[in-house]
């Protein structure tokens, strides 16, 4: 199973800036990207085609969108469909990111509808789940992960798994805050996610990649990637500069 090294560029970078960063990344990792790693860049919408173009010849690289709407087309002002994303060169999409859940107010069910529709349309999905600090301190970690995973995967059948799906465990309190979950906290949460996946899909669930996200940096990436049940990372802030993200990719 290849480690999935994912970059969430959030609402940063113009199309031109994103293209330049993607091209620099490809140069910095050319010939050195290990066979057991693959990289996905999630830029904002107007940068999708330029980034896909910049990475066209970069082996091991793919492009994904940060959001999608669960319909092929229609009167959904401001939204974008899986087919439109694939037309821009996307093969991946993020669903359920905590910034969409907590800032935009997206429900567990909408994240699930986006996940199922995208997979049926032919995209690969990184479904993000994770608890807030209040939920963790109230001892509700297991309940939150179980609820978000059940709703997020409600329409995803076992035959689409594991090729098309990865789950990112991202504790909300560690995203963009500089606070990294410690190795015991990461391992405990990933074991829980693994158990939930196996309970849902049987042995197939043991091959679904589980990524960690939350203030991953070049300095801590190697230790995190080596932990049990950590099959990659989802990186925000430290993925914005090619030099920094290349050091994470190669950690």
Known active-site residue 170: yes
Q: Is 213 in the site for ligand PEP (CB under 6 A)?
A: yes
Q: Is 67 in the site for ligand PEP (CB under 6 A)?
A: no
Of residues 97, 99, 106, 131, which has the active-site annotation? 97
Q: Which of 33, 113, 192, 216 binds ligand PEP (CB under 6 A)?
A: 216
Residue facing ligand PEP at closest CB distance = 236
Shortest distance, position 203 Cβ to ligand PEP, whole Å: 29
Q: Is 205 in the site for ligand PEP (CB under 6 A)?
A: no
Q: Is 123 left (phi over 0), alpha (psi -120 to 50) or beta?
A: beta
Q: Is 248 in the site for ligand PEP (CB under 6 A)?
A: no
End-to-end CA distance of the chain: 17
DSSP character string of 149-203: HHHHTTT--GGGTTTTEEEEE--GGGSSSSPPPPHHHHHHHHHHHHHHHHHHHGG
Burial (CB < 10 A; 0-12, 13-18, 19+), residue 82, is buried
Q: Is 160 in the site for ligand PEP (CB under 6 A)?
A: no
Q: Is 236 in the site for ligand PEP (CB under 6 A)?
A: yes
Q: Which stretch binds ligand PEP (CB under 6 A): 16-24, 101-109, 200-208, 235-243?
A: 235-243
Answer for the pair 185, 228: CB distance below 8 angstroms, yes or no.
no
What is the Cα–Cα distance from 229 to 208, expressed in whole angstroms?
10
Of residues 38, 131, 170, 190, which has the active-site annotation? 170
Q: Which of 3, 4, 5, 8 binds ligand PEP (CB under 6 A)?
A: 8
Which CB sits closer to ligand PEP, 24 or 220? 220
Q: Which stretch binds ligand PEP (CB under 6 A): 104-112, 118-126, 157-165, 211-219?
A: 211-219
Q: Which two tokens stand for residue 169?
A: 């465990």
Known active-site residue 79: no
- Which of 146-165 are b and which e, b meaning 16 or more Cβ less than 10 Å from the residue's Cβ? bebbebbbebbeeebbbebb
Q: Is 170 in the site for ligand PEP (CB under 6 A)?
A: yes
What is the Cα–Cα distance from 123 to 37, expressed in whole angstroms?
19
The site for ligand PEP (CB under 6 A) is made up of 8, 10, 170, 175-176, 213-216, 234-238
Query: Which residues are part of the catalytic machinery?
Result: 97, 170
């Amino acid at each position: 199973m290849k480690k999935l090294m994912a970059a969430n560029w959030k609402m940063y970078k113009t199309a031109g800036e994103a293209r330049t960063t993607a091209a620099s990344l490809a140069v910095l990792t050319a010939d050195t990207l290990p066979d057991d790693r693959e990289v996905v860049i999630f830029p904002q919408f107007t940068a999708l085609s330029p980034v896909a173009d910049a990475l066209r010849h970069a082996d091991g690289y793919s492009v994904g969108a940060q959001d999608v709407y669960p319909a092929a087309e229609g009167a959904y002002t401001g939204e974008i469909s899986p087919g439109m994303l694939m037309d821009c060169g996307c093969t991946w999409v993020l669903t359920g990111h905590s910034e969409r859940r907590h800032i935009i107010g997206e429900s567990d069910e909408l994240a699930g509808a986006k996940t199922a529709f995208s997979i049926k349309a032919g995209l690969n999905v990184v479904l993000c789940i994770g608890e807030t600090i209040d939920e963790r301190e109230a001892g509700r970690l297991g309940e939150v992960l179980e609820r978000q995973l059940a709703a997020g995967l409600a329409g995803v059948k076992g035959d689409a798994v594991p090729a098309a799906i990865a789950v990112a465990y991202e504790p909300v309190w560690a995203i963009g805050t500089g606070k990294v979950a410690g190795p015991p906290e990461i391992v405990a949460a990933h074991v829980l996610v693994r158990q939930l996946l196996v309970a849902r899909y049987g042995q197939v669930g043991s091959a679904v990649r589980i990524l960690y996200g939350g203030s991953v940096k070049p300095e801590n990436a190697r230790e995190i990637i080596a932990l049990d049940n950590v099959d990659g990372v989802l990186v925000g802030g430290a993925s914005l500069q090619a030099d920094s993200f290349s050091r994470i990719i190669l950690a």
